Structure 1
Amino acid sequence: MKKYALVLSGLLMASAQFAQADECTFDLNSNDAMQFDQKAITVSKTCKEFTLNLHHTGKLPKTVMGHNWVLSTTADSKAVASDGMAAGAANEYLKPNDARVIAFTKIIGGGETASVTFPVSKLKDGEAYTFFCSFPGHVAIMAGTLNLK
Protein backbone atom coordinates (compact mmCIF):
# COMPACT_ATOMS: atom_id res chain seq x y z
CA MET A 1 0.00 0.00 0.00
CA LYS A 2 2.87 2.39 0.82
CA LYS A 3 4.34 1.73 -2.61
CA TYR A 4 1.13 2.90 -4.31
CA ALA A 5 0.92 5.96 -2.08
CA LEU A 6 4.48 6.90 -3.02
CA VAL A 7 3.77 6.44 -6.72
CA LEU A 8 0.58 8.47 -6.45
CA SER A 9 2.39 11.17 -4.50
CA GLY A 10 5.12 11.31 -7.15
CA LEU A 11 2.58 11.57 -9.95
CA LEU A 12 0.73 14.39 -8.20
CA MET A 13 3.97 16.31 -7.68
CA ALA A 14 4.99 15.79 -11.30
CA SER A 15 1.59 16.95 -12.56
CA ALA A 16 1.75 20.05 -10.34
CA GLN A 17 5.18 20.88 -11.73
CA PHE A 18 3.89 20.34 -15.28
CA ALA A 19 0.92 22.63 -14.64
CA GLN A 20 3.24 25.29 -13.25
CA ALA A 21 5.64 25.02 -16.18
CA ASP A 22 2.74 25.17 -18.61
CA GLU A 23 0.98 28.26 -17.21
CA CYS A 24 2.67 30.40 -19.87
CA THR A 25 1.07 28.43 -22.73
CA PHE A 26 -2.59 28.12 -23.65
CA ASP A 27 -4.30 25.87 -26.20
CA LEU A 28 -7.48 27.26 -27.74
CA ASN A 29 -9.72 25.36 -30.14
CA SER A 30 -11.90 26.83 -32.87
CA ASN A 31 -14.37 25.02 -35.12
CA ASP A 32 -16.61 25.16 -38.16
CA ALA A 33 -19.48 26.54 -36.02
CA MET A 34 -17.60 29.83 -35.46
CA GLN A 35 -16.72 29.08 -31.85
CA PHE A 36 -13.73 29.22 -29.54
CA ASP A 37 -13.90 26.53 -26.86
CA GLN A 38 -12.93 29.01 -24.12
CA LYS A 39 -14.25 32.51 -23.38
CA ALA A 40 -11.50 33.53 -20.94
CA ILE A 41 -7.73 33.17 -20.76
CA THR A 42 -5.63 33.99 -17.72
CA VAL A 43 -1.98 34.97 -18.11
CA SER A 44 0.27 34.79 -15.08
CA LYS A 45 2.32 37.87 -14.26
CA THR A 46 5.20 35.47 -13.56
CA CYS A 47 5.47 34.57 -17.26
CA LYS A 48 8.09 36.43 -19.27
CA GLU A 49 6.41 35.31 -22.50
CA PHE A 50 3.00 33.83 -23.25
CA THR A 51 2.24 31.42 -26.09
CA LEU A 52 -1.22 30.93 -27.55
CA ASN A 53 -1.73 27.81 -29.69
CA LEU A 54 -4.83 28.07 -31.88
CA HIS A 55 -6.23 24.80 -33.26
CA HIS A 56 -8.94 24.67 -35.92
CA THR A 57 -10.77 21.41 -35.22
CA GLY A 58 -13.15 21.79 -38.16
CA LYS A 59 -12.88 20.62 -41.76
CA LEU A 60 -13.64 23.74 -43.81
CA PRO A 61 -10.82 25.61 -45.61
CA LYS A 62 -9.61 29.00 -44.40
CA THR A 63 -11.21 30.77 -47.37
CA VAL A 64 -14.66 29.68 -46.12
CA MET A 65 -14.29 29.30 -42.33
CA GLY A 66 -10.89 30.70 -41.46
CA HIS A 67 -10.01 31.63 -37.90
CA ASN A 68 -7.25 33.56 -36.21
CA TRP A 69 -6.58 34.86 -32.71
CA VAL A 70 -6.13 38.59 -32.21
CA LEU A 71 -5.43 40.35 -28.91
CA SER A 72 -6.06 44.03 -28.24
CA THR A 73 -7.37 46.15 -25.43
CA THR A 74 -11.12 45.86 -25.08
CA ALA A 75 -11.42 49.55 -25.91
CA ASP A 76 -9.65 48.99 -29.27
CA SER A 77 -11.15 45.62 -30.25
CA LYS A 78 -14.12 46.81 -32.33
CA ALA A 79 -12.01 49.30 -34.30
CA VAL A 80 -9.25 46.72 -34.86
CA ALA A 81 -11.82 44.21 -36.17
CA SER A 82 -13.48 46.82 -38.40
CA ASP A 83 -10.18 48.00 -39.87
CA GLY A 84 -9.17 44.36 -40.32
CA MET A 85 -12.14 43.59 -42.54
CA ALA A 86 -11.09 46.41 -44.84
CA ALA A 87 -7.48 45.11 -44.87
CA GLY A 88 -8.57 41.82 -46.43
CA ALA A 89 -7.40 38.22 -46.45
CA ALA A 90 -3.93 39.04 -47.81
CA ASN A 91 -3.30 40.89 -44.52
CA GLU A 92 -4.85 38.22 -42.22
CA TYR A 93 -7.85 40.58 -41.85
CA LEU A 94 -5.72 43.00 -39.84
CA LYS A 95 -4.61 46.51 -40.75
CA PRO A 96 -0.85 46.21 -41.48
CA ASN A 97 1.37 47.35 -38.59
CA ASP A 98 -1.62 48.20 -36.41
CA ALA A 99 -0.14 49.35 -33.09
CA ARG A 100 -3.42 48.49 -31.34
CA VAL A 101 -2.82 44.77 -31.99
CA ILE A 102 -0.83 43.23 -29.15
CA ALA A 103 -0.49 39.78 -30.74
CA PHE A 104 -2.12 37.68 -33.46
CA THR A 105 -1.93 34.40 -35.34
CA LYS A 106 -2.33 33.91 -39.05
CA ILE A 107 -5.68 32.74 -40.45
CA ILE A 108 -5.99 28.95 -40.40
CA GLY A 109 -8.46 26.46 -41.85
CA GLY A 110 -9.76 23.09 -40.69
CA GLY A 111 -7.10 20.79 -39.26
CA GLU A 112 -4.47 23.54 -39.00
CA THR A 113 -2.70 25.08 -36.03
CA ALA A 114 -1.06 28.48 -35.56
CA SER A 115 0.83 29.88 -32.59
CA VAL A 116 1.95 33.26 -31.36
CA THR A 117 4.33 34.11 -28.53
CA PHE A 118 4.48 37.61 -27.09
CA PRO A 119 6.13 39.32 -24.10
CA VAL A 120 3.83 39.54 -21.08
CA SER A 121 5.36 42.99 -20.51
CA LYS A 122 2.99 44.19 -23.29
CA LEU A 123 0.10 43.66 -20.84
CA LYS A 124 -0.67 46.22 -18.13
CA ASP A 125 -2.29 45.71 -14.72
CA GLY A 126 -5.88 46.89 -14.62
CA GLU A 127 -6.32 46.99 -18.42
CA ALA A 128 -9.20 45.07 -20.02
CA TYR A 129 -8.17 42.83 -22.94
CA THR A 130 -10.25 41.10 -25.58
CA PHE A 131 -9.23 38.29 -27.90
CA PHE A 132 -11.21 37.64 -31.06
CA CYS A 133 -11.23 36.19 -34.58
CA SER A 134 -10.90 38.93 -37.20
CA PHE A 135 -12.30 36.86 -40.10
CA PRO A 136 -15.24 38.93 -41.44
CA GLY A 137 -18.37 38.45 -39.35
CA HIS A 138 -16.73 36.22 -36.74
CA VAL A 139 -15.92 38.80 -34.06
CA ALA A 140 -19.58 38.99 -32.97
CA ILE A 141 -19.43 35.37 -31.75
CA MET A 142 -15.74 34.50 -31.50
CA ALA A 143 -14.46 36.70 -28.69
CA GLY A 144 -13.36 36.40 -25.10
CA THR A 145 -11.39 38.09 -22.36
CA LEU A 146 -7.74 37.83 -21.43
CA ASN A 147 -6.82 38.58 -17.83
CA LEU A 148 -3.43 39.30 -16.30
CA LYS A 149 -3.18 37.75 -12.81
Structure 2
Amino acid sequence: MRTILRSLFVLFLLAGLTALGAQTTLAYDTDPEPIRVVIEPDGNQMLFAQDEFTAKAGQEITLVFKNTATSPAMVHNVVILNDNDDATINRVGQAALTASDNEYVPEDDAIIGATALAKPGETVEVTFTAPSEPGKYSYVCTFPGHYSMMRGTLTIQ
Protein backbone atom coordinates (compact mmCIF):
# COMPACT_ATOMS: atom_id res chain seq x y z
CA MET A 1 0.00 0.00 0.00
CA ARG A 2 2.86 2.35 0.84
CA THR A 3 4.47 1.66 -2.52
CA ILE A 4 1.25 2.52 -4.34
CA LEU A 5 0.89 5.78 -2.38
CA ARG A 6 4.50 6.74 -3.07
CA SER A 7 4.08 5.95 -6.75
CA LEU A 8 0.93 8.07 -6.94
CA PHE A 9 2.66 10.91 -5.07
CA VAL A 10 5.62 10.86 -7.48
CA LEU A 11 3.28 10.67 -10.47
CA PHE A 12 1.26 13.71 -9.30
CA LEU A 13 4.46 15.58 -8.47
CA LEU A 14 5.87 14.97 -11.95
CA ALA A 15 2.58 15.95 -13.58
CA GLY A 16 2.53 19.18 -11.57
CA LEU A 17 6.12 20.04 -12.45
CA THR A 18 5.47 19.33 -16.11
CA ALA A 19 2.44 21.63 -16.08
CA LEU A 20 4.46 24.31 -14.28
CA GLY A 21 7.20 24.02 -16.86
CA ALA A 22 4.67 24.41 -19.67
CA GLN A 23 3.28 27.56 -18.05
CA THR A 24 6.75 29.01 -17.66
CA THR A 25 7.48 28.43 -21.32
CA LEU A 26 4.23 30.06 -22.42
CA ALA A 27 4.83 33.10 -20.22
CA TYR A 28 8.42 33.62 -21.43
CA ASP A 29 9.04 37.21 -22.48
CA THR A 30 10.95 37.42 -25.77
CA ASP A 31 11.41 41.21 -25.75
CA PRO A 32 15.08 42.16 -25.37
CA GLU A 33 16.06 43.92 -22.16
CA PRO A 34 16.45 47.71 -22.44
CA ILE A 35 20.03 48.96 -22.75
CA ARG A 36 21.80 52.17 -21.77
CA VAL A 37 24.57 53.47 -24.03
CA VAL A 38 26.91 56.34 -23.09
CA ILE A 39 28.54 58.35 -25.86
CA GLU A 40 31.08 61.15 -25.47
CA PRO A 41 32.93 63.41 -27.89
CA ASP A 42 36.56 62.72 -28.65
CA GLY A 43 38.04 65.60 -26.66
CA ASN A 44 37.50 68.94 -28.39
CA GLN A 45 37.27 67.37 -31.81
CA MET A 46 34.11 67.05 -33.87
CA LEU A 47 34.15 63.27 -33.46
CA PHE A 48 32.32 60.77 -31.29
CA ALA A 49 34.70 58.76 -29.08
CA GLN A 50 32.25 55.84 -29.39
CA ASP A 51 31.54 55.72 -33.10
CA GLU A 52 29.62 52.46 -33.01
CA PHE A 53 27.39 50.35 -30.79
CA THR A 54 25.14 47.33 -31.22
CA ALA A 55 21.56 46.62 -30.15
CA LYS A 56 18.85 44.09 -30.89
CA ALA A 57 15.89 44.73 -33.18
CA GLY A 58 13.07 46.42 -31.28
CA GLN A 59 15.18 46.94 -28.16
CA GLU A 60 14.57 50.02 -26.02
CA ILE A 61 17.73 52.12 -26.01
CA THR A 62 18.53 54.97 -23.66
CA LEU A 63 21.34 56.90 -25.29
CA VAL A 64 23.21 59.17 -22.89
CA PHE A 65 25.42 61.86 -24.38
CA LYS A 66 27.99 63.17 -21.92
CA ASN A 67 29.69 66.23 -23.38
CA THR A 68 33.19 65.98 -21.94
CA ALA A 69 34.59 68.64 -24.30
CA THR A 70 36.16 71.69 -22.66
CA SER A 71 35.99 74.22 -25.50
CA PRO A 72 32.84 76.40 -25.31
CA ALA A 73 32.46 76.00 -29.10
CA MET A 74 31.95 72.23 -28.79
CA VAL A 75 28.17 72.11 -28.36
CA HIS A 76 26.79 68.77 -29.55
CA ASN A 77 23.74 66.55 -29.82
CA VAL A 78 23.12 63.00 -31.05
CA VAL A 79 20.50 62.40 -33.73
CA ILE A 80 19.69 58.79 -34.65
CA LEU A 81 18.58 58.11 -38.22
CA ASN A 82 16.54 55.29 -39.73
CA ASP A 83 19.19 54.38 -42.31
CA ASN A 84 22.91 54.60 -43.06
CA ASP A 85 22.71 56.51 -46.34
CA ASP A 86 24.98 59.51 -46.97
CA ALA A 87 22.17 61.30 -48.81
CA THR A 88 19.96 61.07 -45.71
CA ILE A 89 22.77 62.26 -43.44
CA ASN A 90 23.45 65.23 -45.74
CA ARG A 91 19.75 66.13 -46.06
CA VAL A 92 19.23 66.06 -42.27
CA GLY A 93 22.51 67.90 -41.63
CA GLN A 94 21.65 70.65 -44.10
CA ALA A 95 18.08 70.98 -42.79
CA ALA A 96 19.46 71.37 -39.27
CA LEU A 97 20.99 74.71 -40.26
CA THR A 98 17.51 76.25 -40.28
CA ALA A 99 16.26 74.45 -37.16
CA SER A 100 17.87 76.60 -34.46
CA ASP A 101 14.49 76.96 -32.73
CA ASN A 102 14.45 73.15 -32.27
CA GLU A 103 18.07 72.79 -31.06
CA TYR A 104 19.22 72.11 -34.64
CA VAL A 105 17.08 68.99 -34.99
CA PRO A 106 14.99 69.37 -38.15
CA GLU A 107 11.57 67.85 -38.76
CA ASP A 108 12.43 64.77 -40.82
CA ASP A 109 10.91 61.29 -41.00
CA ALA A 110 14.42 59.79 -41.03
CA ILE A 111 14.97 60.82 -37.38
CA ILE A 112 14.07 58.12 -34.85
CA GLY A 113 15.57 59.81 -31.80
CA ALA A 114 17.49 62.94 -30.81
CA THR A 115 19.06 64.36 -27.68
CA ALA A 116 18.90 68.02 -26.77
CA LEU A 117 22.01 70.12 -27.31
CA ALA A 118 24.68 69.68 -24.64
CA LYS A 119 27.20 72.35 -23.81
CA PRO A 120 30.59 71.22 -22.48
CA GLY A 121 30.08 69.58 -19.09
CA GLU A 122 26.41 68.79 -19.69
CA THR A 123 24.75 65.39 -20.06
CA VAL A 124 21.57 64.75 -22.06
CA GLU A 125 19.73 61.59 -23.01
CA VAL A 126 17.02 60.19 -25.23
CA THR A 127 15.14 56.90 -25.09
CA PHE A 128 13.96 55.33 -28.33
CA THR A 129 13.10 51.94 -29.79
CA ALA A 130 15.69 50.36 -32.06
CA PRO A 131 14.61 49.69 -35.64
CA SER A 132 12.93 46.33 -36.19
CA GLU A 133 15.08 45.45 -39.20
CA PRO A 134 18.67 44.23 -38.74
CA GLY A 135 21.24 46.46 -40.40
CA LYS A 136 23.36 49.56 -39.95
CA TYR A 137 21.90 52.91 -38.92
CA SER A 138 23.67 56.26 -38.52
CA TYR A 139 23.83 58.74 -35.70
CA VAL A 140 25.20 62.24 -36.18
CA CYS A 141 25.64 65.57 -34.43
CA THR A 142 23.44 68.13 -36.20
CA PHE A 143 24.93 71.24 -34.60
CA PRO A 144 25.89 73.44 -37.60
CA GLY A 145 28.98 72.17 -39.37
CA HIS A 146 29.39 69.00 -37.30
CA TYR A 147 27.41 66.33 -39.19
CA SER A 148 30.03 65.80 -41.90
CA MET A 149 32.58 64.52 -39.36
CA MET A 150 30.68 63.66 -36.21
CA ARG A 151 29.08 60.35 -37.17
CA GLY A 152 28.60 56.90 -35.74
CA THR A 153 26.93 53.61 -36.57
CA LEU A 154 24.25 51.72 -34.69
CA THR A 155 24.23 48.06 -35.74
CA ILE A 156 20.95 46.23 -35.23
CA GLN A 157 21.16 42.44 -34.92
Question: Match of 1:43, as an amino acid?
Answer: A
- Of 67-76 and 105-114, more deviation after overlay is shown by 67-76
User: How many residues matched?
Assistant: 122
Unaligned runs of 5+ in 1: 1-20
Normalised TM-score (structure 2): 0.70
Structure-to-structure mapping, 1:60-75, within 5 angstroms: 60-61=71-72, 64-72=73-81, 73-75=83-85
Per residue, is there more helix in 1 or in 2? 1
**8 A Cα contact 1:24 1:44, kept in partner:** no
How far apart are the structure 1 equivalents of 2:34 and 2:112?
19
**8 A Cα contact 1:55 1:114, kept in partner:** yes
1:60, distance to aligned residue in structure 2 (A)? 3.0
Question: Match of 2:51, as an amino acid?
Answer: K
Give the percent of matched residue pairs that are identical in Structure 1 and Structure 2: 30
Structure-to-structure mapping, 1:35-74, within 5 angstroms: 35-45=47-57, 47=59, 49-61=60-72, 64-72=73-81, 73-74=83-84
| Structure 1 ranges of 4+ moved more than 4 A | none
**8 A Cα contact 1:23 1:43, kept in partner:** no
Match of 1:125 in 2: 133
Partner residue of 1:100 out of 101, 110, 115: 110
How far apart are the structure 1 equivalents of 2:69 and 2:125?
17
Match of 2:142 in 1: 134
Whose Rg is larger? 2
CA RMSD of aligned residues (A): 2.0
Q: Given the superposition, is the C-alpha separation of residues 57 and 119 from structure 1 closer, same or farther in structure 2, using an over 3 Å criterion?
A: same
Match of 1:91 in 2: 102
**8 A Cα contact 1:129 1:145, kept in partner:** yes
Unaligned runs of 5+ in 2: 1-31
**8 A Cα contact 1:59 1:109, kept in partner:** no
Are positions 1:115 and 2:125 aligned together? yes
**8 A Cα contact 2:71 2:120, kept in partner:** yes
1:59, distance to aligned residue in structure 2 (A)? 2.2
Normalised TM-score (structure 1): 0.73
